[in-house]
Amino acid sequence: MHQQATNRLINPGESLGIFLLKFIVSIQSYRWRIYELKKNTEKIIQVKDLVKHYGDKTIIDEINFHIRANEFLTILGPSGCGKTTLLRMIGGFETPDAGDILFEGKSLVNIPANKRPINTVFQKYALFPHLNVYDNVAFGLKIQKKAKAEIDTLVQEMLRMVNLKGQEQRDVNSLSGGEQQRVAIARALVNHPQVLLLDEPLGALDLKLRKNMQLELKKLQKKTGITFIYVTHDQEEAMTMSDTIIIMNHGRIQQIGSPVDIYNEPRNAFAADFIGESNILESMMLKDCLVKLQDVEIPCVDKGFEKNESVLTVIRPEDIEILPPGTGFLDGVIESVTFLGIHYEIVMNCKGISWLIHTTREFFAGDQIGIQVDPNNIHIMKKEHDHEII
């Protein structure tokens, strides 16, 4: 930036006034850039050593992470992994047994739910049946005792943002699932919270509507700049919408990262298995960059394992190349072919082990094939006693 300004200075023929103006503007935009950078890396929520028990079951097992402002964060995991409990603790509906939740540096734990600058969109929407759309959305504003005119403006704006303009007087019980969903979102967002919590809000919608809503939510988040914390068990959903994903299982964090990172570099077998489909195989690391599976030695790019360490190899179905038999590192027979529109899903049997392959080429059950995988697409992970190969 500075360089450009200086170059312009040297340019003869520029009047002094214009030079000064451009200099000031460049300084300002520089300062704005720094502010933006700072804001984006600012940690808005920090979770420290959080623990929660129900009876003798540990639901949340000492987790630590932070959330950056203005990001779309998804907590992803199977049913019972603790993700909803975590969300409820952030919202203030459960209290942790140990650990702390910090909001902009200050502890939230002793602040009751109604005083936190956080709003929630509940799984079953929790709309107030005795109030119409307008009154539902205006509820929080009325509690804050805002002026009627101001409430009206805010509500109308929010309804427009969720495409429900004109529906103010409608009875919420007569709305469709998607419409109720949007009222729930509007009701939460109209209060301009700093953080919005969403507890699997799209579960009850049909596929097409769900996909539309995912895009809508993403757009909404970008537009309002509010930090979204989204909870789901649907990995595709998480991948579509998130800036960052936290994968949870058994009350512990398995991996944190962007969708691309998690997909390409799953940190453990659970993450690999949960996100996308994978082939996970028992294998042995012979030495750096060489792994042995199904009695075949295959070059890869991972290092740092012990000699002859028992490991798991993870290969994505779409990374497998199908070749004529004998020309790849393994051969097998195709058991089944399923046409999924985008690709064919092929199950291949190689010496008793089933491999899942995605390809756009047509094959038939009974075909003999060979497979090959680029070393960069072979991921080696340590075996953790936690995980079972399904």
Residue 126 or 356: the one with the smaller Cβ distance to another protein is 126
The single residue among 77, 82, 91, 266 that binds another protein, judged by CB under 8 A, is 91
Q: Which stretch binds another protein (CB under 8 A): 78-86, 125-133, 280-288, 368-376?
A: 125-133
The single residue among 5, 111, 126, 347 that binds another protein, judged by CB under 8 A, is 126
Residue 141 or 247: the one with the smaller Cβ distance to another protein is 141
The single residue among 70, 74, 85, 120 that binds another protein, judged by CB under 8 A, is 120
In the complex, what is the shortest distance from the CB of residue 50 to another protein, in angstroms, rounded to a whole number? Answer: 20
In the complex, what is the shortest distance from the CB of residue 29 to another protein, in angstroms, rounded to a whole number? Answer: 38
Q: Does 114 bind another protein (CB under 8 A)?
A: yes
Residue 131 or 209: the one with the smaller Cβ distance to another protein is 131
Q: Which of residues 172-191 bind another protein (CB under 8 A)?
A: 187-188, 191
Q: Around Cβ 13, how many Cβ atoms within 10 Å?
A: 4
Q: Which residue's entry shows tokens 């170059």?
A: 7
Q: Does 96 bind another protein (CB under 8 A)?
A: no
Q: Does 92 bind another protein (CB under 8 A)?
A: yes
Q: Which stretch binds another protein (CB under 8 A): 36-44, 111-119, 230-238, 338-346?
A: 111-119
Label residues 180-216 b or e (16+ Cβ within 10 Å = b): bbbbbbbbbbbbebbbbbbbbbbeebeeeebeebbeb
Q: Does 128 bind another protein (CB under 8 A)?
A: yes
The size of the interface with another protein (CB under 8 A), counted in residues, is: 25
Q: Does 329 bind another protein (CB under 8 A)?
A: no
Residue 33 or 124: the one with the smaller Cβ distance to another protein is 124
Q: Which residue's entry shows tokens 């539309």?
A: 212
Q: Which stretch binds another protein (CB under 8 A): 118-126, 149-157, 229-237, 357-365?
A: 118-126
In the complex, what is the shortest distance from the CB of residue 232 to another protein, in angstroms, rounded to a whole number? Answer: 17
Q: Does 147 bind another protein (CB under 8 A)?
A: no
Instruction: For 199, list phi and psi in degrees, rounded to 5.
Output: -100, 90
Q: Does 314 bind another protein (CB under 8 A)?
A: no
In the complex, what is the shortest distance from the CB of residue 213 to another protein, in angstroms, rounded to a whole number? Answer: 19
Q: Which stretch binds another protein (CB under 8 A): 34-42, 122-130, 251-259, 314-322?
A: 122-130
Residue 201 or 266: the one with the smaller Cβ distance to another protein is 201
The single residue among 82, 96, 140, 257 that binds another protein, judged by CB under 8 A, is 140
Provide the binding-site residues for another protein, judged by CB under 8 A: 91-93, 112-115, 118-120, 122-124, 126-130, 139-140, 143-144, 187-188, 191
